[in-house]
Structure 1
Amino acid sequence: MSTEERQSAAGSAVRRNETVYEERAMVDRYDSFGDDGWLTEREAAIVDEYFAEPGRVLDVGCGTGRTTRPLADRGHDVVGIDVSERMVAQARERHPDLTFRVDDATDLAFADGSFDYVLFSYYGLDSVSPATA
């Protein structure tokens, strides 16, 4: 496969992911995971061990705020980002006291060192296509 073909395939995967996460049914599905947000048992163990001291957290792929709320409730200053405008709009509606932005995990709009911690939960990393040479 040529470089152009790999780049086109990667771009197609990103566009497909963006399209799926804009669908109302997908937003509703993510929103149903917890009324006040929740961490899975594994996520809670990671946060408890590695995010022990309150700090500034970037919650990548925040969806509708499932992980953002419990991070804030643990005393962190959290910014939730997601590539889906619809997910971010729902997160803002559900958690108006928290900060959410539309942003791309592969091209973040933050300066280096802006955060003490970064959480990319659930299967978010599986939705990121690698850069091709």
Structure 2
Amino acid sequence: MVMKSIREAVVGGSFVCCFPTTYGVFFRHDREEAVPSNFLSGLDLGTARTYQGVLIRVHDKEAAMSMYSKFAEWYDRIFPFSPGVYAFLNHHLGDRGGPVLDLGCGTGDYCSAFTRDGIQAVGLDLDQAMVSQARTRAPETEFHVLDMAEFRTLGGPWSMIYCIGNTAAHLPQGRFWSCVEDVAERLLPDGVWIVQVMNWDYVLGLPSFVFPPKVMEGAVFHRAYEDITPESLTFRTGLDIEGRRVFDDQVRLHPLPSADIVAGHEARGFRLVEHVSDYAGSGFDPDVFSANIFVFTR
């Protein structure tokens, strides 16, 4: 089931989705709880009210993904298809075959590569502009506009599910672990779950962090982490095209230290297969800024 979410609230680790004329939920202590529609309908953007001890402050959810919509046409230049990433995914898929599921597929390059190689692949992304590009470029591959935490609505089971590019950090911790539990339920026996985030062990020790600018022909992409706390941080982005600032944007991300990621997965029945800092398989060092890639199986 796909629903158009128009509002969300994230306060103190609780998450609220507000759907027009339908319902809302929030997560408290990793448990989903319903919010009455009459309560949601009385909330305006920017207002706050307490519901069952949780302060709900509402903002426009579409703004959380606007960063990606705004540079959808630039996405493949900023984050181009990487043969090394695809080789890594293929290596861990092994001879299991499909189907595989990409949570946060962007413009769908890796899904379409699997399809070209004869492996059934499905991609989902919350951003309509990204999915539109994916469908246009790879009409033979199945794509959905869908929140990654709602992938269970697509059925399964899956030989491999992967979530790369720090996409998982967009989920508050309660929703992330609910998503992981859904992964556990919808993997085939000995199925593979690959999740990539940033090296939060390194970032969480800093007051802020500025990425080196990503320079392309005619454009410069800027990124920075600010307001860093153990629960969340602000991810600021900006894109300059031919020396002119096209946009500035921000979104809250939710870091998890490596030890918490491993322990949380083990508590849910996963076994760690590999933990590396890049798709070439380099060893992970928590004191060096890098990617943070985990491969699990059940």
TM range (shorter): 0.7 to 0.9
Residue of structure 2 equivalent to 1:107? 150
1:2-53 per-position Cα deviation (integer Å, ceiling 9, x unaligned) = xx732269x8696543222222xx211223355xxx3352x23432321122
The one of 46, 53, 66 aligned to 1:19: 66
| Cα contact 1:63–1:87 (8 A) shared by 2 | yes
| Cα contact 2:123–2:142 (8 A) shared by 1 | yes
CA distance in 2, matches of 1:50, 1:84: 27
Distance 1:128 1:15, change over 3 A: farther
Identity of aligned residues (%): 24
CA shift, 1:103, in A, is 1.0
Q: Does 1:5 align with 2:11?
A: yes
Distance 1:5 1:124, change over 3 A: closer
How much is the aligned-residue C-alpha RMSD, in angstroms?
2.8
Residue of structure 2 equivalent to 1:29? 74
- Out of 60-69 and 122-131, give the one that drifted further: 122-131
When you count helix as a share of all residues, which structure comes out higher?
1
Query: Where do 5+ consecutive residues of structure 1 fail to align?
Result: none
What is the number of residues matched between the two proteins?
122
Which amino acid is 1:17 matched to?
A: A
The one of 65, 77, 80 aligned to 2:120: 77
When you count strand as a share of all residues, which structure comes out higher?
2
CA shift, 1:79, in A, is 0.6
CA shift, 1:99, in A, is 0.9
Q: Does 1:55 align with 2:98?
A: yes
Which amino acid is 1:86 matched to?
A: A
- Per the normalisation by structure 2, the TM-score is 0.36
- Per the normalisation by structure 1, the TM-score is 0.74
